[in-house]
Amino acid sequence: MFLSPRWIAVLLAGLIATLVVAFLSFVPGVDITMLFVAGVSSLIISFFGIYYTIDLLVFQEVNNIYKTIRKLKIKDFDISKKKLIINVNPLKKLNTEISDYVEKKQAEINELKRMETFRREFLADVSHELKTPIFAAQGFIHTLLDGAKDDPVVSTRFLQKAAKSLDGLDALVRDLVVLTQVETGELKMQFIIVDMINVINDIIEQLENKAQKRGVSIKIKPKDLKECLVIADPQRINQVMTNFVDNAIKYGRDNGKVLIEFEEAKNAWQISVEDDGPGIPKEHLSRIFERFYRVDKSRSRETGGTGLGLAIVKHILNAHNSTISVSSKIDKGTRFSFSLKKA
Ligand SMILES: Nc1ncnc2c1ncn2[C@@H]1O[C@H](COP(=O)(O)OP(=O)(O)OP(=O)(O)O)[C@@H](O)[C@H]1O
Ligand SMILES: [Mg+2]
Same domain? For 145 and 230 the reply is: no
Whether this model's pTM surpasses 0.85: no
Task: Name the residue range of residue 240's domain.
Answer: 192-341
Point out the domain boundary residue: 77, 106, 135. Answer: 106
Question: Which of 260, 284, 300, 314 is the pocket-test mutation for ligand 1 (most atoms within 8 Å of CB)?
Answer: 300
* Å from CA of 201 to ligand 2 middle: 19
CATH classification of the domain holding 203: 3.30.565.10
337 in a structural domain:
yes
Same domain? For 231 and 329 the reply is: yes
* pLDDT at 84 (0 to 100): 57
Point out the domain boundary residue: 143, 162, 184. Answer: 184
* Å from CA of 287 to ligand 1 middle: 11
* pLDDT at 170 (0 to 100): 93
262 lines ligand 1 (CB under 6 A): no
Same domain? For 65 and 151 the reply is: no
Question: Which of 125, 216, 251, 274 is the pocket-test mutation for ligand 1 (most atoms within 8 Å of CB)?
Answer: 251
270 in a structural domain:
yes
Question: Cα–Cα distance between 3 and 6 in angstroms, integer?
Answer: 8
Question: Cα–Cα distance between 45 and 38 in angstroms, integer?
Answer: 10
Nearest CA to ligand 1 atom 6: 251
Same domain? For 221 and 166 the reply is: no
Mean pLDDT by groups of 10 residues along the chain of 343 residues: 76 95 91 93 94 82 75 62 60 79 91 92 89 93 93 93 93 90 87 97 96 96 94 96 96 96 96 96 93 79 78 94 96 97 95
256 lines ligand 1 (CB under 6 A): no
119 in a structural domain:
no
Burial of 204 (0-12, 13-18, 19+ CB in 10 A): middle
Point out the domain boundary residue: 148, 167, 184. Answer: 184
Same domain? For 180 and 197 the reply is: no
Same domain? For 202 and 264 the reply is: yes
* Å from CA of 195 to ligand 2 middle: 23
* pLDDT at 301 (0 to 100): 56
Same domain? For 176 and 202 the reply is: no
Same domain? For 196 and 318 the reply is: yes
Same domain? For 176 and 223 the reply is: no
Same domain? For 209 and 302 the reply is: yes
Same domain? For 203 and 319 the reply is: yes
Which ligand is the nearest neighbour of the Cα of 276? 1
